A = this chain, B = another copy of it.
C-alpha cells in the first residue's frame, strides 16, 4: 500500500503496514507478534500529514528516504515510512535530547553524536561554548545530503570546523574509541532497521567505555504510552553498567502518541535532573532555544504514576 495517498502521507506502525501490504497483495499471512510493546511499533493507530509536494524519494543503501513539504508542518523527513522530524516541532526533540546531558555536565568539551544525520543535535550541541570538538557518526550519508538541501535550519552546522564527521556504523565506531568523550548522544531511529543494535546492553557497555570520567549519555528512548516494557528493560540493563540512570520525557507532536522519551545515564553518581549550569530567560532567548529551559530540565524527569510504577526499583522517584 502506498502511504502517500490522495495528498496525505500516513505513518502506519511497521507491523500494521506489513499486514496491510500482505492483504493488498492477496497474501493472508499475519505477523507472528502483534507488536504491542515492541520498540518502534504502535499497532492499531496511525498519524497523517497533508502533503503539498514530494521533494525527494529514493532508497539509500540502508533505508527508504522521503522528504515532503507538508501543508502545516514545513518540510518533513521520513525514513522507512516513519517520521523523523518536521520543521515545525523538531525543536522539542533536538533540544531535549541534546541539552539534558549537555546541561547536566558542568563543562562538556568533547561530544559524540551517534546518528543525528539531520544535523539538529549537532546544531544544539555547538551552542555550548565549552565544546571544543564534536564527533558525529551517521550510517547513512543520504540522510545528511537531503537534510542539507531540504532541512537547512537543522543541517546548518555541517561546515563547522569543530566537527569531525564519520560515515559508518555507530556500534563499530565505538569499539575503537575509549575514554574520549564527555557527552555521547544517540539520536537514532527506532529499533527496527539500521538502528536495531543501538538498543541493546552491549551497546551501552561500549558507550560507558567511550565516556571519560564524569561523562553523561542521552539516548532516544521511545514513547511512555507505547513502549513501556522496552523502556523498563533499557533502564534495567543500563543500571547494571551506570551508577546513575534516569528517564525523562517531553511532548513531541509528530512522534507516535505525541511523546518522546530520553534515557540519561552518567558514569558517576550525579543528580542529572538538576542542570549543572542554568540559563536566564535572556540567555534562553539568545541561544535561540524554542523548547528547553532550565526549569523544564528538571520537570522532564517527573513522570506519570503508571510510568514510575513500571520503572520502580529501576529508578528512584
Decide yes or no whether A296 CB sits under 8 A from chain B.
Answer: yes
Decide yes or no whether A308 CB sits under 8 A from chain B.
Answer: yes
Interface string of A255-279 (1 = CB under 8 A from B): 1011100000000000000000000
Contact B47 A47 (CB under 8 A): yes
Given contacts A36-B72, A72-B43, A259-B258, contact A293 B306 (CB under 8 A): no
Contact B48 A92 (CB under 8 A): no
Decide yes or no whether A46 CB sits under 8 A from chain B.
Answer: yes
Copies of this chain, tallied across the complex: 2
Decide yes or no whether A284 CB sits under 8 A from chain B.
Answer: yes
Contact B304 A295 (CB under 8 A): no
Contact B253 A259 (CB under 8 A): yes
Contact B249 A225 (CB under 8 A): no
Interface string of A270-303 (1 = CB under 8 A from B): 0000000000010010000111110110110011
Q: Could you tell me the distance between the alpha carbons of A71 and B308 in the complex, rounded to whole angstroms? A: 26
Shortest distance from the beta carbon of A315 to any chain B beta carbon, whole Å: 13
Residues on B with C-beta less than 8 A from A302 are: 295-296, 298-299
Decide yes or no whether A251 CB sits under 8 A from chain B.
Answer: yes
Which residues in chain A, 90-105, are within 8 Å of chain B measured between CB atoms?
91-92
Cross-chain contact of A71 among B43, B72, B250, B289 (Cβ < 8 A): B43
Cross-chain contact of A49 among B44, B50, B291 (Cβ < 8 A): B44
Contact A8 B46 (CB under 8 A): yes
A36 and chain B: residue at smallest CB distance: B72
Q: Could you tell me the distance between the alpha carbons of A112 and B89 in the complex, rounded to whole angstroms? A: 37
Shortest distance from the beta carbon of A11 to any chain B beta carbon, whole Å: 10
Residues on B with C-beta less than 8 A from A254 are: 45, 257
Decide yes or no whether A252 CB sits under 8 A from chain B.
Answer: yes
Shortest distance from the beta carbon of A252 to any chain B beta carbon, whole Å: 7
Shortest distance from the beta carbon of A50 to any chain B beta carbon, whole Å: 4
Q: Could you tell me the distance between the alpha carbons of A95 and B290 in the complex, rounded to whole angstroms? A: 28
Interface string of A49-70 (1 = CB under 8 A from B): 1100000000000000000001
Decide yes or no whether A237 CB sits under 8 A from chain B.
Answer: no
Q: Could you tell me the distance between the alpha carbons of A36 and B253 in the complex, rounded to whole angstroms? A: 15
Contact B295 A317 (CB under 8 A): yes
Decide yes or no whether A224 CB sits under 8 A from chain B.
Answer: yes
Shortest distance from the beta carbon of A83 to any chain B beta carbon, whole Å: 11
Contact A45 B50 (CB under 8 A): yes
Q: A43-B71, A291-B306 are in contact. List 20 more A-B contacts (CB 8 A).
A: A8-B46, A44-B70, A44-B71, A44-B73, A45-B72, A45-B254, A89-B225, A92-B304, A250-B304, A253-B258, A254-B257, A257-B258, A289-B305, A290-B304, A290-B306, A291-B304, A291-B305, A292-B305, A293-B304, A296-B302
Name A's B-contacting residues (CB within 8 A). 8, 10, 16, 36, 43-50, 70-73, 89, 91-92, 224-225, 249-255, 257-259, 281, 284, 289-293, 295-296, 298-299, 302-306, 308, 317
A to B CB contacts below 8 Å, 8 in the list: A36-B72, A44-B71, A46-B48, A252-B258, A289-B305, A291-B304, A296-B303, A296-B304
